[in-house]
A and B are shown apart, each in its own frame.
Chain A
Amino acid sequence: NAGVMQNPRHLVRRRGQEARLRCSPMKGHSHVYWYRQLPEEGLKFMVYLQKENIIDESGMPKERFSAEFPKEGPSILRIQQVVRGDSAAYFCASSPVERPTDTQYFGPGTRLTVL
């Protein structure tokens, strides 16, 4: 059973470009979480999604950031008009059920570098 897949693993963008980060949850998991991690810091919750629904996006910046989890295909975290401050590691996690106390399984992350 493959784990959580994220791609690309590394992404380089110039200021003003768009970044698209993809996350394929574990098989059978319909709940996806996105986190951002700056160097030497802990993970910061961004958004929690179920299939076709955003459940909690309270940790996501109001502008330039969006997330989706379509009925078919991976979850996408989209960052428009990237700035240097967006440089970070972005982790996706999935869980099989909606109980928040359930274990979240994390992917390897996408490291975004904004030049």
Chain B
Amino acid sequence: LAKTTQPISMDSYEGQEVNITCSHNNIATNDYITWYQQFPSQGPRFIIQGYKTKVTNEVASLFIPADRKSSTLSLPRVSLSDTAVYYCLVVSTGGFKTIFGAGTRLFVKA
């Protein structure tokens, strides 16, 4: 399973765009990149998943370069309620174990 590396924490202000980058140098051909969000005292919530190039949904965008060794989660115009921990995961189609790293703690200030 590919190991992921992401910043421990980030600060931002309301209304700004936030980009969180995740490194996964050992990603395999069958692996997908998935991001989850977790608020205190709650279970993680799926945000977005992608394999290559760009994926966008109503919440975020995910940018994956051609070599797939990194990915960037982009949150447009964050609000205070986006303060949470964001986890980058590499999920393999060949197995069922899902590995969560330490995540990135995002603090959004007024």
Q: Which residues on A are within 8 Å of B, measured CB to CB?
A: 4, 33, 35, 41-45, 48, 55-56, 58-59, 91, 93, 98-101, 103-109
Contacts and interface: CB of A to CB of B under 8 A. Distances in A.
Interface centre among B43, B96, B103 (most CB of A within 10 A): B43
B99 interface: yes
A109 B41 contact: yes
Q: Which of A4, A55, A100, A107 has the most CB of B within 10 A?
A: A100
B contact residues, range: 20 to 34
Interface of B: 32, 34, 41-46, 49, 87, 91-93, 95-103
A106 B100 CA distance: 13
The 6 closest A-B pairs by CB, nearest first: A106-B43, A42-B100, A43-B100, A103-B46, A48-B96, A101-B32
Interface of B, secondary structure class, is loop
Given A104-B46, A106-B43, A33 B98 contact: yes
Contacts of B103: 42
A44 B100 CA distance: 7
Nearest to B47: A103
Contacts of B96: 33, 48, 55-56, 98, 100
Nearest to A93: B43
